Amino acid sequence: MNNSWGLTLFGASLAVAIVISTVVVSRTMLTIKQANQTVEVKGFAEKKILSDWALWRGRFTARGTDLVETSNVLDGQKSIVLTFLGQAGINQDELEVSPVTTQVLYRRDGKGRVTNTIEGYALHIDLTVSAGDIDRISKVAKESDVLIKQGIQFSSQSPQYFYTKLGNLKISILGEATRDARRRAEQLAEKSGSSIGSLRFARQGVFQITPVYSTEVSNFGRNDTSSREKSIKAVVTIGYALAN
């Protein structure tokens, strides 16, 4: 009888202990779950800038059947091109002229296949003009067609425009995007009756430099050089702990 009563008492005590343990564990798990709650938000920032550096490339070419004569023609073209650039206000330290590149032209047969017979030569020189005076560089590029009217086979690329202070600006705009993410997180937390806790993680997203008002987005980012006026856009993803 005493043994039976003792077993009953032990069983009851064990059951109570299990219930208490279950409650404690459940509350502990709930606390851990609440402590691990995180809000993830994206922050965005955009700033308009004006390019402060321009680069323009061009090429002039001479063709002929005799290599020496063709080289002499190219020298005459070079003199005309350099005179044009000098009159346009391009300084020597703003100009880079490449060595002569020689291309051997081979005759083709009736089926369009290249033979070993030399038909002639094509010689060309590349030039690069770069400076901070964007208006002057743009004007030179537009007026370079005057060289074609002088009988020079001249090809001109579109000017490229750059912003040279991007390093400092990038840090600043990422800071603005981070602050934007913080504001979004606070708004979400407030609506759920919580508050923002410690920072859990931060990831920089795509960094875009596009023409103003452009909606183009690239997964690998974009660095526009075609327009003077640009828009720099930064996206960050931030995770904050939620505090109840």
Q: What is the pLDDT of residue 12?
A: 45
| pLDDT tens-digit map of 163-188 | 998 888 888 999 999 999 999 988 88
How far, in Å, CA of 241 to CA of 40, rounded?
9
Q: What is the pLDDT of residue 85?
A: 97
Of the pLDDT bands very low, low, confident and very high (cuts 50, 70, 90), residue 135 is very high
- Of 174, 120, 172, 139, the residue nearest 54 (C-alpha): 139
How far, in Å, CA of 42 to CA of 214, rounded?
20
Among 10-14, 83-87, 155-159, name the one with the lowest average pLDDT.
10-14
Q: What is the pLDDT of residue 141?
A: 96
Pair 41, 188: CB distance under 8 Å: yes
Among 99-103, 140-144, 199-203, name the one with the lowest average pLDDT.
199-203
- Listed in sequence order, the residues at least 6 apart from 101 whose beta carbon sits closer than 8 Å to its beta carbon are 123, 124, 125, 126
The pTM score is: 0.74
- Three-class SS of residue 73? helix
Comparison of pLDDT for 91 and 18, the residue scoring more = 91
How far, in Å, CA of 108 to CA of 119, rounded?
9
DSSP state letter for 219: T
